[in-house]
Amino acid sequence: MKIVEVENVSKSYQSKNNEKTYEALRHISFHIEKGEFVGIMGSSGSGKTTLLNVLGSLDKPTTGTIKINDKDVVSLKKGELAKHRVENIGFIFQDYNLLETMTLKENIILPLALQEQDSEVLEEKLKPLVKKLGIEEVVDKYPYEVSGGQQQRAAACRALITSPAIILADEPTGNLDSTSSEDLLLLLQELNEHFQVTILMVTHDVFAASYCERILFIKDGVFIDEVKKQDNNENYITIIMSKMRVLGGKSS
């Protein structure tokens, strides 16, 4: 089953004086099957963040179609888009995007609260999730009172609490130390493998990308290559590093 279908998507921006047009994405086409863990890699300015924004309905493509859960999201109106984002897309950001004036619990249940679901439903969905992600002991604390790893796990809980069709992760390990990064990646891998959560992760980090089953490489707004993980492929990281060197990106 295809969760994401992208056909011939382009995104252009005009300069302030409208004299020049910058093409951030050019005729992008791909699809993501249910349960896949897909990575998008490219150097700075390659178009990967723009792609994530249009997939997340935070921006609209100039041309092309995007279907998520078999729904054409490009044609949705503003109110419909907001409902679509809450119901179908979970976001995990590099800087967590947690509200400092709310506890972790309040941050996590916010998407459901916006849907005006009653307190029993909120608790029913919250408890197993925070237990699974190992933050049940700190859920009543504020973001500034817990570690970066715990904040990121809270952000992951918030992304998952609506049971979205897909998780979009934007450089999720960017602000974490090596131990917390590996913990988060193992968590994403577990969610993907054992719960069939579909994940699309944008990253420039080769180690993070190695957790993905499939990686699409983007340069100047165009997909130029793809690599898939094979069973017991010991050269997977080496292959990714080689592809990134060709793109002119970092291989951290």
pLDDT, tens digit, 9 for 90 and up, residues 190-231: 888 877 889 999 998 899 999 999 999 999 999 999 999 875
Question: What phi, psi does 182 have (nearest 5°)?
Answer: -65, -40
| CA proximity to 218, closest of 249, 242, 187 | 249
Sheet holding 63-68, edge to edge: 21-33, 2-14, 63-68, 71-72
Residue ranges of domains in the chain, CATH in brackets: 35-60+75-247 (3.40.50.300)
User: What is the number of other CB atoms lying within 10 angstroms of the CB of residue 29?
Assistant: 12
Q: How far apart are CA 81 and CA 73, in angstroms?
A: 7
Q: How many residues does the chain have?
A: 252
Q: What is the pTM of this model?
A: 0.87
Say what the pLDDT of residue 196 is. 86
In angstroms and rounded to an integer, the radius of gyration of the C-alpha atoms of the chain is 18
pLDDT, tens digit, 9 for 90 and up, residues 146-167: 988 888 889 889 998 988 999 9
Percent of the chain with pLDDT over 90: 50
